[in-house]
Amino acid sequence: MNIHLSVIPLVSLIAGVLILVMPKLLNYIVAFYLIAIGLIGMFGTGHFHLH
């Protein structure tokens, strides 16, 4: 059984939920999201393959 997990949509989902739950932390959540997406893009680890 192969599971293909994409990191970018997962990070987006977590950021969206955190913004809904804690709107006062919007600046920090957006900053963390941008840093995470930048690191994922730089290191090219957008997909993990689990077997």
The pair of three-digit structure tokens given for residue 14, joined into one six-digit string:
């977590």
The pLDDT tens digits of the residues spanning 18-44 come to 889 988 888 988 898 888 888 888 887
In which band, very low, low, confident or very high, does the pLDDT at 10 lie, cut at 50, 70 and 90?
confident
Q: What is the pLDDT of residue 47?
A: 57
CA distances to 2, 21, 23, 46, 51 from 36, in Å = 25, 20, 19, 11, 25
